[in-house]
Amino acid sequence: MSFVCGNCTRARILQNIRPSIRTYRNTASAPNSVNESAKQQVKHKKPIYKHEDRDVVWHKPEGFDTGIKMFNSVTRRKEALILPRGRIATWYSCGPTVYDHAHIGHASAYIRTDVIRRIMINMFTLDIIMVLGITDIDDKLIRKSNELGITYLRLARQFESEFWRDLTKLKVIPPTVSTRVTEHIPQIISFINQIMCNGYAYRTVDGSVYFDVNAYGRYGKLWTHKMDTEIRESADKEKKSARDFALWKAAKPGEPYWDSPWGLGRPGWHIECSTMANAVFGEKLDLHSGGDDLRFPHHENEIAQSEACFCNEQWTNYWLHLGHLHLKNDAEKMSKSLNNTVSIAELLQKYSANQFRLFCMMRPYKQTIEYSDASMEKAVRLYSYWSSFVNNADAYIKGQLVCQQLNENVLWECLSGTQTKIEKALADDFDTPRALTALEDLIRITNAQLSKKLVTEITANTRSPAVVAAIVAYVQRILDLFGIEISRKRKQQDGIERNFDNVVESVVKFRSNIRNFALTLPKKKQDEDTKKEYKTQMRPLLSVCDELRDDLQLAGVQIQDHGNVSTWDLLEVSPITTKTALKKAVKNPKPL
């Protein structure tokens, strides 16, 4: 059943068009007239980059050099990230079409975007204004709402709310501004009208409006020959050219519609993002990002329609595209239409958000990621190794972990070198794998010194807590920068947590005393048979100590024995961790 959305009547829309149109440079004064001066502005200048058989113009911005080099999909090479407004960066990111549950393919893209954003904010002290566009009117959304017998807006709001909850669980920072297509219909109509005034769009008999690619003349900044062939093979009789794309779709029976100067209808997909970005940022953008699948035709069409509307040569300075996530042995990207998805809820039943974030950072953001339990296990092990290091280091700082004297000079030098390596890696196209390797090397070298067994008596003057504390603080800062929280003993914030720590401390100390008693032979000289008999007598005590350690691990408390000293820390307990521990318990049942 067709309906008119909200108060969008023809009279109201026509009243809103003129005041809502921006006063663009050299725009046409009369509707539907070809603005020749506007067209003159967008003629080719001397080409800077060659792509296959095309010349692509890209102008290096003028302004503040951030110190970052990032891969630009237009030039297809790393470029210095330069911001015209000092440390302020404007960034539009394509968001979801909210018609179904989000899956881990979506999650990986938003996590990778979030990590890059955090690096820019926390490492390079940039102020990021990020807009995330939500598509809440779309063919798939309409189809599913009709199947379920509910309005498209109710369906969209339901899955949009779930999307925001998922992002919170994944520790993704919310955008500065989020926009919805249905709340920008007047602006979309104005945007299309301006493109028509400039002579780059045409109306068809049924009331649809198409962008005229041939009239624009500069199409192809992001595409490849393969992509172009696919477009040419999908010709439409109503279009002048196979490359032309819909700006406004004429209304169909059973679909929602709005009134416009061209008749009843709704926006095309590509025009939505351009308009929402323009509504916040105006005619220019510093950054635009999205999954690699959006490079063409979506982002290509965004460039064409925006530059045709604003009569400029460079709407967005830098284009950033993220690699897909796919299942192991499945070359296709994860997609609902291919029925090869894993929902975010399913992911978080097996792994923690920290573990998945680490997994997403183990490959460069531009590359595809292969998801499987085996590949996730690498991230799980690395996360556990880091957690163990932080808590061991905390124990050393407090004097609970005793080891041989540390080589302070080596550790200070290693820390300084790691800081330099990580900053260089992150400035080089946000190279998180290289940064993680540098951090892992620092932890490995420090761990090696903390693991040296005590061979001589240690005094206060021969301990080195300051350098270890500095290393832990740096590791913690970098992981916080990446949005990864390390499990460690709780900071004492209230009485309940203090009591918890005290109880565990007492239990661990009691176990440690029993264990040391069982492992320590009597001082008087004994023959081998007597020693063997003593060890046999102590074995039940050691077995009880092991059982207590395993029981506490199931509850998320990990005990580590270092000679005659025992320390503990909190594990990040996920269902898969508990399942593994339970399997061990089944394999080695306790005696009744």
The architecture of the domain spanning 20-196+273-369 is 3-Layer(aba) Sandwich (3.40)
Q: Look up the CATH number of domain 372-488.
A: 1.10.730
**Residues 6+ positions from 311 with CB-CB distance below 8 Å:** 24, 25, 26, 27, 35, 38, 39, 41, 42, 198
pLDDT, tens digit, for every residue of 205-245?
A: 999 999 999 999 889 899 865 555 556 555 567 899 989 99
pLDDT at res. 486: 86
For the chain, give every residue range classified as CATH 3.40.50.620. Answer: 20-196+273-369
> Are 260 and 248 spatial neighbours (Cβ–Cβ below 8 Å)?
yes
Q: CA torsion 411→415→420→423, rounded to 10°?
A: 160
> Are 425 and 435 spatial neighbours (Cβ–Cβ below 8 Å)?
yes
- Rg value, the chain, Cα: 30
423-437 CB burial, b ≥16 within 10 A, e <16: eebbbebbbbebbbe
Partners of residue 225 on adjacent β-strands: none
Do strands 209-211 and 201-203 pair parallel, antiparallel, or not at all (unpaired)?
Answer: antiparallel
Residues of the chain scoring pLDDT < 50: 1-34, 37-45, 47, 491-493, 575-579, 581-592
**Residues 6+ positions from 344 with CB-CB distance below 8 Å:** 101, 102, 103, 104, 106, 107, 166, 169, 170
The continuous run of DSSP H or E covering 230 comes out as: helix 225-232
**DSSP 8-state class, residue 428:** B
pLDDT at res. 591: 38
For the chain, give every residue range classified as CATH 1.10.730. Answer: 372-488
pLDDT at res. 386: 93
pLDDT at res. 420: 98
Distance separating alpha carbons of residues 258 and 152, to the nearest angstrom: 14
Closest CA to 454 of 561, 559, 563, 560: 563
CB neighbourhood size of 413 (10 A)? 12
